[in-house]
Amino acid sequence: MEMYHQVEMSVVKRKVMWVLCILLSALPALFLASLIIRYKVDIPVLDQWELVPRLEKFYNGKLTFADLWGQHNEHRPLFPLLIMLVLARLTHWNTNCELAVIFVMAVGIFLLLIYQMRLSRIFGPGTVNWLIPAISLLVFSPCQMENWLWGWQIQLVLNVFAVTAGIVLLAHPSWNWRRYTAAILLGIIAMYSFANGVLYWVVGLFVVWTMLRKDRPALKTAVPIWILTGGATIASYVYRFKRFEGYGPLTLPLQYPVEYLKYVSAFLGATCTGLVDTNPVIAGLIPGERGILPVCAVGAAGVILWVTSVVLLLRWRIADFNTLLPYVALSMYALGSGMIAGLARLAFGVNQALSMRYVVFSTLFWVSLLAFLYLLATRYELSSANHRKMSQRRVTLSARILIIVILCLVISNARHGLQFAKGRHEAFSEAAETFRLLEQGDLTAANIRYTAFELVYPEPEVVEKRLEVLRRYRLSVFRNM
């Protein structure tokens, strides 16, 4: 009877701990949702004004495929443009609806990561999975508030969602051609959302080869199809591609290798730490005048920890390579994104690596590192290898301390996102108020209009011209006319 009572109490305790785990996992998402609601501003900002000519064509029936396929900087955001155009048509261009879509995609990324961890059996059977709240903290971190508050950033979040979903499908323990086909389609979406989607075809090829290396017939079919499809997608992307002047030559990393390494390290480190810029409202830059070396150090330390964790997990047979494969692939994508960004943006300085928008990519690296540390912290005693040079207590304790340190850095870094959100809200709220005044009268009547125009777009005369389009079709600030 006493034993039955103990078992019953154990079950109740586990249920209580699971409820607590779920609540803790929901808190970061709920907190982020409250920040979005509080700091959203319903006006087009910066690149969003480039949507106006397409909206005009959309309304008068002259929108062509070329308008969607065309370049925006180095990107061809075909799928994000489709989403934004449809949302604008349905809501008379309420930009807050774009933020809702971004948030939903972030939830999707979180659920995909948790699903992958269940597939990989990182969570022990019958145990409370405290890694879930940690992943939630990373995915919904306010340190990337630029992505959460700017509808144009659909392209980055959609890219990461497609890449994450594709890798989860390719690395599934039970291989089938339906998942493979879906992964190819997701690769096309990723590449036609943001330029670094080209990496997906490289990373995906590695995953396909690893998963099918023992199944020669499937390997001989899957690899050529992947290469041909990826090659065709890349070829269609670079067709008539123009690289804009002012970004510097692509040989800059060779001329300044140390600065390039600092850029990539800072790109990764920005998830966990950053220094507040004096005016982060527009650029979304985290670091400022006090130097970038601490952020570079965090990024470099993360890479060292990542490599060490993988080596130990494999050497001690805590996990086989197939278990680690999806996280290795996600990390490769994050690191490759930093390398591509450095290739394209090094001319703007190393500080540009800490733009808040990039955190959505580097987060994948830190999620993978947390998964590896969690395995070391919880599975060490299950290892079948003869490795008692380091005690079980030391390994598990070190891994747990590192997890706590990383999460503390992420939580601390959130304050930079809050500062950015407040400054952005104040500035753009003033611009929105000016636009509301213009809604009731002549556009040329407000003597402060150019101040507001310059804030939301670098060319005020372009804003004034495109506001006429918004007024004509009752969009954005003119939807209630």
Q: Taking 70 as the threshold, does the pLDDT of residue 132 lie above it?
A: yes
pLDDT of 166 reads 97
Q: Which residue has the tokens 């140390």?
A: 258
pLDDT at 49 over 50: yes
Q: Please report, for residues 10, 13, 394, the alpha-carbon distance to residue 1 in angstroms, rounded to integers and kept in the order given.
A: 14, 18, 39
pLDDT at residue 415 in the model: 87
Task: Find the distance separating the first CA and the last CA of the chain, reported in whole Å.
Answer: 74
Which pLDDT value is given to residue 302? 96
Number of CB atoms found within 10 A of residue 235's CB: 9
Taking residues 178-196, what's their average pLDDT? 96
Over residues 110-129, mean pLDDT: 79
pLDDT of residue 430: 81
For residue 256, pLDDT over 70 is answered with yes
Instruction: Give the DSSP per-residue string, 210-231.
Output: HHHTT-HHHHHHHHHHHHHHHH
Angle between helices 321-345 and 293-315 (to 10 degrees): 160
**Residue-level pLDDT at 96:** 94
Residue 7 has pLDDT above 70, yes or no: no
- The two structure tokens encoding residue 414: 């959130």
Over 80: is that where the pLDDT of 6 sits?
Answer: no
State the average pLDDT for the chain: 86
Quick one: pLDDT at residue 318?
A: 87
* pLDDT score of 275 more than 60: no
Indicate whether this model's pTM tops 0.75: yes
CA 104 to chain centre: 13
User: Count of CB atoms within 10 A of residue 369's CB?
Assistant: 23
Distance CA 373, CA 397 (A): 10
Q: How far apart are CA 230 and CA 413, in angstroms?
A: 37
Give residue 476's pLDDT. Answer: 85
Strand partners, 72: 75
């995906």: which residue's tokens?
204
Closest to 190 (Cα-Cα) out of 215, 217, 210, 161? 161
The whole-angstrom separation of Cα 312 and Cα 5 is 41
Q: Which percentage of the chain shows pLDDT scores above 90? A: 53
Going by C-alpha positions, the residue among 343, 285, 317 that lies closest to residue 143 is 285
More confident residue, 289 or 437: 437
